[in-house]
Amino acid sequence: TDTTQTPAMTDGFHLVIDALKHNDIDTIFGLVGIPITDLCRLAQAQGMRFIGFRHEQHAGNAAAIAGYITQKPGICMTVSAPGFLNGLTALANATTNCFPMILISGSSEREIVDLQQGDYEEMDQLNAAKPYCKASYRINRAEDIGIGIARAIRAAVSGRPGGVYLDLPAQLLAQTLDAEKGRKSLVKVVDPVPRQLPAPESVQRALDLLKSAKKPLILLGKGAAYAQADADIRAFVENSGIPYLPMSMAKGLLPDTHAQSASAARSFVLAEADVVVLIGARLNWLLSHGKGKTWGSVPKQFIQIDISPTEIDSNVPIAAPLIGDIGSCVSALLKGIETNGHSKPDAAWTGAIYERKDKNLTKMAATLDLNPSPMNFHSALRAIRDILKTRPDINVVNEGANTLDYARSIIDMYEPRKRFDSGTWGIMGIGMGYAIGAAVISGKPVVAIEGDSAFGFSGMELETICRYDLPIVTIVFNNNGVYKGTDPNLNPNNANDVPVTSFVKGARYDKMIEAFGGIGYHVTTPAEMTAALSKAIASGKPSLINAVIDPNAGTESGRLTNLNPQSGKK
Ligand SMILES: Cc1ncc(Cn2c(C)c(CCOP(=O)(O)OP(=O)(O)O)sc2=O)c(N)n1
């Protein structure tokens, strides 16, 4: 009898899963279909967690948040062409926000696509992705799957984190390879995020500038939260005594109730500071590009920590660039202020900030204490704030216009990497994807505070949330429209036309989640909000609170009203 053993074989399907697992990746967010359905089945069969979505953009957003929380790339898997395109929005958003994720999409055969012969879901995905992500690769041979996935992982997390596109032509998955050769082709990425230390002379320049400051300010961006250098960042703020301002996703690095937080005096400190230390915060539109009336007339000198040298001088001259990873740079500054004879800021500066904070907080408290009917953003958010203050472990997702702007200042955060919002791009639709990503990865409950229009972008994922029985409470701020719900019908030819910003009056979003087995609550007062939110969190079940908000409350575009173009026509 023939005693020669036919060599054991493997295939592209198995090598993709083996390569991900070989790099300690255990979760895939995606939406199946040709050619990845069997790949996702195999992932599950091999013990990976596959979370199936209803739209690829939300799977991608979940993957992005997984990356932000873990510093390992979140994985989103989609079908070719339209599925890839739906995921591309999330990939571009991840890249803009510096969240590490890999969008893996099946694709059509090169020989057909390149001759444009009209393949099923034909698209040149690799080139379509290039402008919107940090790197994009295609793997054509099974023996290259190991190095290809390693390359994608390193590209996603090293340097400035971001989105990577990985293109897998359908035939690649079907290719077979000697099992031993396949095993040897796997690559475990070594030191994917190497420390990048700042030059000593750069550190000294920054310390000398800081020492000369009369009104120093520290600005913490979401990069500072991502860095997971929490203890050193807190020590640098507290040991230097310098007031700090957290950007929205950096809230919680230090508790928002911290004495050195200048959030309640944001306008004052941005205008009055003379030396500003930027830690993981870029001078983009969120910071008025570092110039103009936001920054007042006091000349500013910036110390900027960034991993990328070309970020420096992007908008305004930077007096003391510190290039390196945030952990290494903050650690160097922390050591330096101890040895460089740094003294705490003048009491005149910290006292002025305290005074301004106190005045602003008193003014805000007055609005918060009002209890109008129907509820407005403030009265609803006050009830939510008082519940969340008792549960610092709960993740908060937040999007909308007024809902985003008011929640950012009213809902205090106490722990890092617990607030996920529209971020650098101001994108709507991140809600349910971010909530699922945060719940799956952190294992902690999520409260998603959503404008009703914002919720609409990802609302169908309520079914996903119920299917995986995730402890996510979605609160819809229901004011019957985009921004507000009070626009008139402007159509001179149709008295029954619908105003461009309006939604169904009195919509009951709480009934939506009941359709999938979740628990719905309908609230019209802060007291009802308090009761419903407490019950929903305690239940640990997928829940939705439909919060009726006064359609007249708020402003168009929230605080961005001024970005709406105004015609010069008189
Ligand atoms: C993908 C996408 N589409 C549209 C917008 C424009 N937009 C939209 C549609 C917003 C929603 C505002 O309505 P809302 O009900 O969610 O907010 P309120 O909190 O003001 O009620 S905020 C905003 O900038 C966007 N930012 N992103």
Q: Which residues contact 397 (CB under 8 A, 6 or more apart)?
A: 419, 420, 421, 430, 431, 434, 435, 438, 446, 447, 448, 449, 450
Average pLDDT rounded to a whole number, residues 533-561: 92
Q: What is the pLDDT of residue 416?
A: 98
How many A from CA of 296 to the centre of ligand 1? Answer: 29
Q: What is the pLDDT of residue 565?
A: 84
Q: Which atom of ligand 1 is nearest to the CA of 450?
A: 16
**pLDDT tens sequence across 473-495:** 999 999 999 988 889 999 999 99
How many A from CA of 339 to the centre of ligand 1? Answer: 49
Average pLDDT rounded to a whole number, residues 208-231: 97
Question: Closest Cα to atom 4, ligand 1: which residue?
Answer: 428
Average pLDDT rounded to a whole number, residues 249-254: 98
Report how far residue 85's alpha carbon sits from residue 256's, in angstroms, rounded to the nearest whole number: 38
Report how far residue 173's alpha carbon sits from residue 198's, in angstroms, rounded to the nearest whole number: 43
How many A from CA of 444 to the centre of ligand 1? Answer: 27
Question: Closest Cα to atom 6, ligand 1: which residue?
Answer: 428
Q: Which atom of ligand 1 is nearest to the CA of 454?
A: 16
**pLDDT tens sequence across 141-192:** 999 999 999 999 999 999 999 999 999 999 999 999 999 999 999 999 999 9
Q: Are 543 and 521 in contact (CB under 8 A)?
A: yes
Of the candidates 511, 534, 518, the one whose C-alpha atom is nearest the C-alpha of residue 469 is 518
Average pLDDT of the residues of the chain: 96
How many A from CA of 238 to the centre of ligand 1? Answer: 37
Specify the long-range contacts of residues 154-159, CB closer than 8 Å, at least 24 apart: 154/189, 154/192, 156/67, 156/73, 156/100, 156/101, 156/102, 157/67, 157/71, 157/72, 157/73, 157/100, 157/192, 157/193, 158/192, 158/193, 158/194, 159/307, 159/308
ipTM over 0.95: yes
**pLDDT tens sequence across 390-403:** 999 999 999 999 99
* Confidence bin at 109 (pLDDT 50/70/90): confident
How many A from CA of 75 to the centre of ligand 1? Answer: 27
H/E element, 8: none
Beta strands, E only, 88-180: 101-107, 135-138, 163-169, 176-178
Ligand 1 mutation pick, 86, 97, 411, 482, max ligand atoms within 8 A of CB: 482
Of the candidates 431, 479, 423, the one whose C-alpha atom is nearest the C-alpha of residue 452 is 479
Q: What is the pLDDT of residue 445?
A: 98
Average pLDDT rounded to a whole number, residues 279-292: 95
Of the candidates 463, 473, 459, the one whose C-alpha atom is nearest the C-alpha of residue 530 is 473
How many A from CA of 551 to the centre of ligand 1? Answer: 15
Please tell me the pTM assigned to this model. Answer: 0.97
Torsions phi, psi for 374 (to 5 deg) = -70, 165
Q: Which atom of ligand 1 is nearest to the CA of 422?
A: 26
How many A from CA of 437 to the centre of ligand 1? Answer: 21
Ligand 1 mutation pick, 432, 483, 509, 549, max ligand atoms within 8 A of CB: 483
Q: What is the pLDDT of residue 3?
A: 60
How many A from CA of 94 to the centre of ligand 1? Answer: 19
* Confidence bin at 1 (pLDDT 50/70/90): very low
Q: Which atom of ligand 1 is nearest to the CA of 425?
A: 26
How many A from CA of 91 to the centre of ligand 1? Answer: 20
DSSP character at residue 265: G
Q: What is the pLDDT of residue 370?
A: 87
How many A from CA of 423 to the centre of ligand 1? Answer: 13
- The residue assigned the tokens 């999007």 is 399
* Confidence bin at 564 (pLDDT 50/70/90): confident
Ligand 1 mutation pick, 384, 405, 428, max ligand atoms within 8 A of CB: 428
Please tell me whether residue 239 adopts helix, strand or coil conformation: helix
* Confidence bin at 283 (pLDDT 50/70/90): very high
Torsions phi, psi for 135 (to 5 deg) = -160, 150
Average pLDDT rounded to a whole number, residues 9-33: 98
Of the candidates 380, 418, 381, 382, the one whose C-alpha atom is nearest the C-alpha of residue 397 is 418
Q: Which atom of ligand 1 is nearest to the CA of 429?
A: 1
Residues touching ligand 1 (Cβ under 6 Å) are 400-403, 426-429, 451-454, 477, 479, 482-483, 554, 558
Q: Which atom of ligand 1 is nearest to the CA of 477?
A: 21
How many A from CA of 464 to the centre of ligand 1? Answer: 23
Q: Which atom of ligand 1 is nearest to the CA of 483?
A: 20
Average pLDDT rounded to a whole number, residues 320-346: 95
Question: Closest Cα to atom 2, ligand 1: which residue?
Answer: 428
Q: What is the pLDDT of residue 5?
A: 73
Report how far residue 166's alpha carbon sits from residue 106's, in angstroms, rounded to the nearest whole number: 9
Q: What is the pLDDT of residue 2?
A: 59
